[in-house]
A and B are shown apart, each in its own frame.
Chain A
Amino acid sequence: MTETSGQRDITFRYFAWVREKIGRSEERVSVPNSVKTVADLVAWMQTRGDGYADAFAKPAVIRTAIDHRHVQTTALIDGAREIGFFPPVTGG
């Protein structure tokens, strides 16, 4: 929606130890348009501060959902309203 300014607003939600390391459960963030895939997004998140660097230090153990559906790291984030980051699930 703000393509001319080179970024778009996305709601992020964090769970389990990802939430604890970042220190918050939810936030709305302007993400540069140059960030295209989930893998790009994880790399960009690592640059946002100490808590983020810690939470996203090992991309292999980060799982991602776009608008409540599991996605792979190659997924495009364009059009996403909400993106969730969390560790592998441990329910049941």
Chain B
Amino acid sequence: MAVFVQRADFDVSAEIAKLTGGATNIGAVATFIGKVRGETDGVALQSMSLEHYPGMTEGELARIEATATQRFNLSASCIIHRVGTLLPGDNIVLVITCAPHRRDALAACDFLMDYLKTDAPFWKKEVTARGDGAWVDARTTDASARERWSKF
């Protein structure tokens, strides 16, 4: 179980190897990678900057991960979220979940992303040809995506 907030890119294969190396109880690995889209509302995106709340972010990610570990049968997991200036096509976030079986790995990965999007203190600002950066508004669909987990 690990969380990282970093400027540097991540290597998905290397991160999977770190989680699964030597483990014999892992039968399934699920990954989610969030990336920077090259357009926003039909306008070309030049760059995106990601700000976070140092100290709180790491705590929230660890709390979210601990919740997923209690809820699903997970063998290992990791969350890496980038901050700083990113360009279209760049990686933003990586979630890896390892479990004895497929459903736990897939569901936990989905759960982690839903909680990350509503609880982890990150903010995106988009720079387009229109000029100055604009802060991205939170989507109400993110809150409803998180809410669906409370029904189970």
Do A and B pair up? The answer is yes
Known: A16-B51, A68-B56, A84-B53. A91 touches B135 (CB 8 A): no
Contact yes or no, A65 B137, CB < 8 A: no
Task: Determine the chain B residues whose CB is within 8 A of the CB of A69 once the complex forms.
Answer: 56, 59
Interface pair B137/A90, CB less than 8 Å apart: yes
Q: Mark B109-128, 1 if CB is under 8 A from A, else 0.
A: 00001001111111111000
* Cβ-defined contact, A89 with B121, below 8 A: yes
The answer to whether A15 touches B92, judged by C-beta atoms less than 8 angstroms apart, is: no
Partner of A86 from the list B53, B93, B137 (CB cut-off 8 Å) is B53
Q: Which of A61-85 contact B (CB under 8 A)?
A: 65, 68-70, 84
Q: Is the CB of B120 within 8 A of A91?
A: yes
Total inter-chain residue pairs, C-beta < 8 Å: 71
Contact B123–A86 (Cβ < 8 Å)? yes
A89 to B81 CA separation, bound complex (whole angstroms): 14
Residue of A nearest to B61 (CB): A91
- For the complex formed, measure the closest distance between the CB of B114 and the CB atoms of chain A, giving whole angstroms: 9
Using C-beta atoms within 8 Å of the partner chain, give the interface range for chain B: 20 to 34
Query: In the complex, what's the smallest C-beta–C-beta distance from A26 to chain B, in angstroms?
Result: 11
B52 contacts A by Cβ under 8 Å:
yes
Residue of A nearest to B139 (CB): A90
How far is the CB of A47 from the nearest CB of chain B, in Å?
24
What's the Cα separation between A17 and B124 when bound, in Å? 10
- Additional A-B contacts beyond A15-B53, A86-B121, A89-B120 (10; CB < 8 A): A68-B56, A86-B53, A87-B123, A88-B138, A89-B117, A90-B117, A90-B138, A91-B116, A91-B123, A92-B34
Which chain B residues have a beta carbon within 8 Å of chain A's beta carbons?
Answer: 34, 50-53, 55-56, 59-60, 81, 92-93, 113, 116-125, 135-138
Q: List 22 A-B contacts (CB under 8 A).
A: A13-B53, A15-B51, A15-B53, A15-B123, A65-B53, A65-B56, A65-B121, A68-B55, A68-B60, A70-B60, A87-B123, A87-B138, A89-B120, A90-B117, A90-B138, A91-B50, A91-B116, A91-B121, A91-B122, A91-B124, A92-B81, A92-B122
Give chain A's interface residues, CB within 8 Å of chain B: 13, 15-17, 65, 68-70, 84, 86-92
